[in-house]
Structure 1
Amino acid sequence: MTLKKLSIYIFSLLILFVSCKTSKEKTEATLNQDKNQKPMNVLFIAIDDLRPELNIYGAKHVKSPNIDKLANESLVFNRAYCNVPVCGASRASLLTSILPTKTRFIDYRAKAQEDVPNAKTLSSIFKEAGYTSISNGKIFHYNKDVQEASWSENPWMPKGGHRVSYDPATNEVIMKSGNGRVYEAPEVEDSVYPDYKIAQKTIKDLRRFKKSGEPFFMACGFFRPHMPFYAPKKYWDLYDRDSIEIADNRHLPENAPKSLRGSGEFKSYSFGDYKPNTEAFHKMMRHGYYACVSYVDQLVGEVLSELETLGLAENTIVVIWGDHGWHLGEHEFWGKHNTLHNALQVPLIVKVPGKSAGKQTEALVESVDIYPTLCDLANLKVPDYIMGKSFTSVIGNPKESFRENAYARFKKADAIVTDNYTYSLFENGEEMLYNRKLDPAENKNVVADVKYKKVLQDMRNALRVKQQQAASYK
């Protein structure tokens, strides 16, 4: 070897040594930084039957100032979808990040401990990592579902559930279901209803965690605006019923298949002096829904205000999620329980301190994606069988695309949602295809239109892929 070549060789080794040393120092510094950094807490707020009928989503008629305030500090997802449009199954699916099938996560009675007995729940991942995991109110539909593995303490639920009433007239007519009237607006304090107690229990726990300094995964689940529409009168008074606009498509979609149905849950309540399918009934039902949204918004605001007051907000990820969509009289449907867009789209607001505050994203996400995302943000490893994907990259860059489609299933129908279309396939072979770019209200089923032959085939193929993915968990 010549002297020149030897010099070059030695110089190269020197550069390599310095480079490795610098890289090692950076790695050690990063590790030390991670060790010294406080774990990110999580406040997960689930709101039953809340569709994206909020001011932040363009519903300017809805009074939701506290959720709107959080949204201005968060990333708002405009295209988030549940995987099952019914509460029990939707929650079990999200909390395990496993998709529904014909035999799994079917209806409100779904239990994770029965349908996926070997799956780790989202809260159990945090619990195993040393967090104190707490469940207040309605998180799992059955709060004892996977109780021991999921929570550090027994799940807490106020007495009476969501049907507690305070107007004597409510129970003048009791239906076979045991339910009374679907609405009431008594002049009472916020504190008389169970949701207030859920908020106060959560506030109490936040104060405890502030004092102890322990990291927490706090799940807080509110009942309203789930029926019955019971809220203090002052929230009803926020709205002028005569000014409330009702759905302008109170008819089935053109070419709707016979299998398309609406929820019958509302029929389990007495309607008092109102008759279904009338304008007065529609206005009353919307009025009740909006009043309940505003009531819950106040309670959410109280929880978030305490989080700020305690100085915990700067180190806490906050999520507001609706467990499924809801029909407010569109197609003469009330509730969820089908695969139309109104039953599938959910509100999703994610606050990560210092990330994408006040921004919105059109990225398509599914409820099962929340599990891996929260784990990713907390640097926790997820099981390899989960079916959701972390959307942390979207939190960093809201303009980034994420999924090509979202999947949902309800009983005998599977559905795929893309940027422009919603497609459903019923077990009897009936299909629905809606061009939501041209027909956002889904008033015309175009599945038989030859112009959509290519789109229809693409949707069928996409659905087949998702069904195979859902079936992959054993």
Structure 2
Amino acid sequence: MNMHLLNWLNKKAYLFLTGGIILGGFISFVPAKTPVPAAEKYNVLFIAVDDLNNDLGTYGHPLVKSPNIDRLARRGVQFDKAYCQLPWCSPSRASLLTGLKPDETQVYDLVTNFRTIHPEVVTLPQHFKQNGYYTARVGKIFHYGVPGQIGTNGMDDPASWQQVVNPIGRDKTEEAMIRNLLPKRPLGSTLAVLEAEGTDEEQTDGKVALEAIKLMEQHKDKPFFLAVGFFRPHSPYVAPKKYFEMYPLDKITLPQEPADDMQDIPEAALSTKPANYGLNELQQREGIRGYYATISFMDAQVGKLIDAVDRLNLAEKTIIVLWSDHGYNLANHGQWMKQSLFERSARVPFIISVPGSKEKGKKSPRTVELLDIYPTLVDLCKLPVPSHLSGASLKPLLEKPNATWNRHAYTQVKRGQLMGRSIRTEKWRYTEWDEGRAGTELYNHEADPGEFTNLAKNNQYAKQVKELSGLLRAGNKPAVSTVQSKK
């Protein structure tokens, strides 16, 4: 047979099997026609954590107690350099769950629904649903306003699920008891604490864990994609008292940073103004203490899920993935929370546990993105691969965590009309604000992991700036194959 004809037929067959059709130069995804037989399917326990940075025991933090996430890391592969695509809840989740970059979803804020731009895009859970999985959500997966929308559907995507559960606990009903250190700011974007009375199970996240376990028990005999979204450590920092007691205030320290740290940072890079919101050191330490207490509380709920997987004899057929939508500044460079392009805001904890893995407990030093989760889970579960995905399967790194990897991570943020874009390689972080007109940043992470010395204007590093600027522009182009946008 003519080789050109054979190649043409192979491409047609691939498009048929993956559900891809060519429309006006774009590849548009349609439901797959060839689901994988049920006997070959892994379950997926998909754990999302809201506003969690890398202050965890397994990532080397000396104070934070996270025994259950640490335990998950010991039975999986931990990615030490994983990055979100936009450090804000809704844009990050829209990107991860659609497999599209923020410039493709066009979600840069907390109110835009990706479906208004891409009504036909197939989300990660929706793809599993179309391939014979039971799909369910408990808690926050797509965007929720926290704490305002706890107990509601928030900005959910009904097409993704067969069942949803929206728990609501004492943290919501007792909001009047929360102490706000910045009273002019709403509870979801402030430093606010409550050492709560009662048990874990009375809090929303405690209820999330219990409801998720019930669904595992009910659906353990068929393939499931169970998405479990915890709300803590998102502000307000509410947890039972015992978790605050783990962190005596005199043990909480503030970041040790050079006195001249802020002098070489572009004004555009700073989202917290004034620095530290004008809080004194004691107030800052109270905020950090509350954040750490809620991490440990959330971690305990993760432990209940892992225990249930083991108790129900699901460990040998269930992939567990844990991720956070973005990182979190805790007085670093005078910044708090998210919406910045510093490492602490862009970097996220990310762990995947695959049954039968020979690399349990290993840590991968390679630079990866949350965009990679969609193609990775599809690959591991042997489902047809949608053609619109911008990320890459991490299966090679799950099989060999130190394998050669030539991809970089791209993170961006938009404030009004100002766009900042950042690229992270294994050695460098390079950032441009308004394409460089509002400032640039270059940090050598081998020598300066705290990002204290901006090398962007140092002529000695002009070659690195030019190279990274080119990579930044190339990496932010839309994928060659993408879903059609709504015109």
Q: TM-score range by the shorter chain?
A: 0.7 to 0.9
Give the Cα separation in 1 of the matches to 2:290 and 2:258: 19
Q: 1:259 aligns to what SS in structure 2?
A: helix
Note if 1:194 corresponds to 2:197: no
Give the Cα separation in 2 of the matches to 1:389 and 1:417: 16
Q: 1:136 aligns to what SS in structure 2?
A: strand
- 1:408 corresponds in structure 2 to 411
- 1:365 corresponds in structure 2 to 368
Give the Cα separation in 2 of the matches to 1:201 and 1:266: 40
Of 223, 233, 238, which aligns to 1:225?
233
Shift of the 85–460 alpha-carbon distance from structure 1 to 2, 3 Å rule, reads same
Q: 1:350 aligns to what SS in structure 2?
A: strand
Q: What do the CA deviations read for 1:339-365 (whole angstroms, capped 9, x no partner)? A: 111111000010001111111111111
Give the Cα separation in 1 of the matches to 2:156 and 2:328: 27
- 1:60 corresponds in structure 2 to 62
Aligned residues: 431
**TM-score between the two structures when normalised by the length of structure 2:** 0.83
Of 276, 301, 304, which aligns to 2:303?
301
- 2:462 corresponds in structure 1 to 453
Shift of the 178–259 alpha-carbon distance from structure 1 to 2, 3 Å rule, reads closer
Of 421, 427, 430, which aligns to 2:428?
421
Note if 1:208 corresponds to 2:208: no
Q: Describe how 1:25-424 pairs up with structure 2 within 5 A.
A: 37-101=39-103, 104-142=106-144, 143=153, 145=155, 147-153=157-163, 155-159=164-168, 163-165=172-174, 168=177, 170=179, 175=184, 177=186, 182-210=192-220, 213-249=221-257, 252-263=261-272, 276-355=278-357, 356-411=359-414, 412-424=419-431
Q: 2:476 aligns to what SS in structure 1?
A: helix
Aligned partners of 1:364 and 1:401 also within 8 Å: no
Give the Cα separation in 1 of the matches to 2:197 and 2:275: 24
Q: 1:320 aligns to what SS in structure 2?
A: strand
One-letter amino acid of the structure 2 residue matched with residue 227 of structure 1: S
CA RMSD between the two structures: 2.6
- 2:30 corresponds in structure 1 to none
Q: CA deviation at 1:384?
A: 0.9
- Of 67-76 and 140-149, more deviation after overlay is shown by 140-149
Shift of the 220–62 alpha-carbon distance from structure 1 to 2, 3 Å rule, reads same
Give the % identical residues. 35
**TM-score between the two structures when normalised by the length of structure 1:** 0.85
Q: CA deviation at 1:317?
A: 0.1
Q: CA deviation at 1:122?
A: 0.2
Shift of the 158–37 alpha-carbon distance from structure 1 to 2, 3 Å rule, reads closer
Q: Which runs of 5+ in 2 are unaligned?
A: 1-35, 145-152
Q: CA deviation at 1:184?
A: 1.0
- 2:449 corresponds in structure 1 to 440
- Of 166-175 and 232-241, more deviation after overlay is shown by 166-175
Q: 1:468 aligns to what SS in structure 2?
A: coil
Shift of the 59–169 alpha-carbon distance from structure 1 to 2, 3 Å rule, reads closer
Q: 1:439 aligns to what SS in structure 2?
A: coil
Q: CA deviation at 1:114?
A: 2.0
Pick the structure with more strand per residue.
2
Give the Cα separation in 1 of the matches to 2:345 and 2:454: 16
- 2:18 corresponds in structure 1 to none
Aligned partners of 1:167 and 1:186 also within 8 Å: no
Q: Which runs of 5+ in 1 are unaligned?
A: 1-33, 268-274
